[in-house]
Amino acid sequence: MTVNTFHVAPGGKLSGSIRVPGDKSISHRSIMLGSLAEGVTEVSGFLEGEDALATLQAFRDMGVQIEGPEGGRVIIHGVGMKGLKSPEKPLDMGNSGTSVRLLSGLLAGHGVDVTLVGDSSLSKRPMRRVTTPLSEMGAVVESNEKGTLPLHIKPTAPLKGINYTMPMASAQVKSCLLLAGLYAEGDTCVTEPAPTRDHTERMLQAFGYDVRRDGNRVCLTGGGRLVASNIEVPADISSATFFMVGASIAPGSDIVLEHVGINPTRIGVINILKAMGAHIDVLNKRQVGGEPVADIRVRYAELKGIDIPLDQVPLAIDEFPALFVAAACAKGTTVLRGAEELRVKESDRIQVMADGLQILGIDAEPTPDGMVIQGGQIGGGTVESHEDHRISMSFVIAALRASGNITINDCSNVNTSFPSFVSLAAGSGIKIVTIQRV
C-alpha cells in the first residue's frame, strides 16, 4: 500500500479559475438511484474518487451494467426496483460512510443477502444510528457487538413504514430511512432536529418519485418506481471550501470556483465565512438537474472571530476542518457549539484538528461538541491526519499563512473525495509536494 505525505512550504496566494471535482454526495446517489430505475441513466460530472467508485463497484457486483466512468461520464443500465442480485462476496465500501449507511437502507427491503465491509477507519464508525431504526421497520441488519462493520443484511418480509424522529441531524441517517421506505408498506416519515442536505429527496424527485416535505419532516410512500433520468453533477462545495478558505486567509488572493453546487442545505460554509468578514461573491446562479449552481469568487479579507450560529452547523458539518483553519487566522475568538457529529466522522475531527492546530502554535481548545479557537500566527510543524482526507487538505491550506513548513502524514485518503487536489492546489499557488512510500 502506498502512503502519501504532504510537505507544504509557507506562504503563497490563490489565483485563477478552477473547477473542483463533482459533488461526492450527488455522485453516490446518482449510481444508487440510476441502478434502481427503469431505463438508462447518463451521469456527467461524476466524481472519480475512491468513495464514489466504491459505490459504483458495489452495484456492478449486484448485477448492474455500468459503463465508465470516463471523463466524469457514467452510463447506468437500470435493473428496476427489485432487480439487484445478491453479490458473491462482501461489498467493500473502503472509507465511505455514505455508501454503507445509504446502502444499508436501500438493500434492507430488497430481498438480497449482502455483507458490507470497509477499511480500518470506516470499521470504527458507529452504525447503530441506522441499524436501530431499520430494525423498527422490520429489517434484519446485523453488526458486530460494538455496533460497527461488518453489516450483514438478510432478506426479510416486507418492511413497514415508520415515523422516525432523529435524535441528531444527519443526512446519511435520513437518506438511509427514506431509501428503505421505498420498499416499505405505507408511509415512511423522518423528522430531523435541523435541516440537513436534501440531495436524496431532490434526486428521488428527479427520477419521478413523489417526496413530501413539511418543515423538517420528509415523507414518502413505498411501492413506487423510478424512471431513468440524466444527472449533471455540480462541483462539490465541500471540495471548493478548501480554496474558499485559502483565498480568504492568503493576502493577494483572488480565485473563481466554477459551477459549484449551492444547495441551500450545503451553504453554511459561505454564510459562516461571510459572517467572519470574507469577501465572497456568488455569481451566475442557475439550476442544473434540480440542483442550484453558481460560480464563486473569493478574495482575501481580514477575518474576525465569531460565535458560529447553531442553525448553520448542520449546513457546514463537513466543512469545519477547513473553517477551523479560517478561525486560526481570524482576529479574536471563534466558538463552535452543537457539532458533536464531528467526533464520529472519518476521524474525531474536533480532537484531531485541535491537536494539529496546537502543534502549529494556535490556541485551540476542544469541547465535547465543538471548539474554541483564538486567532494567531500559524507556525510550522508535523501534524497527523489520522487518514482523514478533510484533515489532510485543511492543513495544506493552513500553510498559506504559516511561518514555517508544514508536513502532514497519512494523506492517501485524499483520493476518496478529491483525487486532483494536489495538482489543483499547486496550480493555484500552494507550494505542495507529495512524498510517496510503500
Residue 230 pLDDT > 80, yes or no? yes
- Residue 288 shares a structural domain with residue 140: no
Q: What is the average per-residue pLDDT within 195-217?
A: 95
Beta-carbon contacts of 70 under 8 Å, excluding residues fewer than 6 positions away, are none
- Residue 374 shares a structural domain with residue 317: yes
Q: How far apart are CA 161 and CA 436, in angstroms?
A: 49
* Furthest CA-CA distance within the chain: 62
Q: How far apart are CA 82 and CA 394, in angstroms?
A: 42
User: Above pLDDT 70, what percent of the chain?
Assistant: 100
Residue 6 pLDDT > 80, yes or no? yes
Nearest to 356 by CA among 336, 385, 330, 334: 385
Q: Tell me the per-residue pLDDT of 305-323, one tens digit each, with 9 for 90 and over.
A: 999 999 999 999 999 999 9
Q: What is the average per-residue pLDDT within 181-193?
A: 97
Residue 376 pLDDT > 70, yes or no? yes
- Residue 113 shares a structural domain with residue 173: yes
Nearest to 29 by CA among 316, 291, 391: 291
Q: What is the average per-residue pLDDT within 27-47?
A: 97
- Predicted local distance difference test score (pLDDT) of residue 210: 97
Lowest-pLDDT range of 1-10, 23-32, 65-74, 142-151: 1-10
Residue 417 pLDDT > 90, yes or no? no
Beta-bridge mates of residue 299: 254, 279
Residue 1 pLDDT > 70, yes or no? no
- Predicted local distance difference test score (pLDDT) of residue 180: 98
Q: What is the average per-residue pLDDT within 331-353?
A: 95
Residue 289 pLDDT > 90, yes or no? no
- Residue 208 shares a structural domain with residue 300: no
In this predicted model, which residue has the larger pLDDT, 195 or 65?
65
Q: What is the average per-residue pLDDT within 178-190?
A: 98
- Residue 386 shares a structural domain with residue 301: yes
Q: How far apart are CA 424 and CA 410, in angstroms?
A: 19
Q: How far apart are CA 273 and CA 290, in angstroms?
A: 26
Q: Tell me the per-residue pLDDT of 53-109, one tens digit each, with 9 for 90 and over.
A: 999 999 999 999 999 999 999 999 999 999 999 999 999 999 999 999 999 999 999
- Residue 243 shares a structural domain with residue 366: yes
Mean pLDDT of the chain: 96
- Residue 28 shares a structural domain with residue 12: no
Point out the domain boundary residue: 232, 256, 281: 232
- Residue 139 shares a structural domain with residue 155: yes
- Residue 241 shares a structural domain with residue 187: no
- Predicted local distance difference test score (pLDDT) of residue 288: 83
Whole-prediction pTM value?
Answer: 0.89
The owner of cell 468578514 is 277
The owner of cell 479557537 is 373
- Residue 190 shares a structural domain with residue 302: no
- Residue 303 shares a structural domain with residue 377: yes
- Predicted local distance difference test score (pLDDT) of residue 169: 86
Q: What is the CATH number of the domain that holds 102?
A: 3.65.10.10
- Predicted local distance difference test score (pLDDT) of residue 416: 84
Domain that holds residue 316: 3-22+234-437
210 is catalytic: no
- Predicted local distance difference test score (pLDDT) of residue 3: 87
Number of domains in the chain: 2
Point out the domain boundary residue: 211, 232, 253: 232
Q: Per-residue confidence at 273, pLDDT binned at 50, 70, 90?
A: very high
Helix axes 320-329, 268-275, angle to 10 degrees: 10
Point out the domain boundary residue: 203, 232, 261: 232
Contact 272, 304 (CB under 8 A): no
Q: Tell me the per-residue pLDDT of 116-138, one tens digit each, with 9 for 90 and over.
A: 999 988 999 999 999 999 999 99
Give me the catalytic one of 119, 198, 236, 318.
Answer: 318
- Residue 173 shares a structural domain with residue 187: yes
Output the 3-class SS for 409-424: ECCHHHHHCCCCHHHH
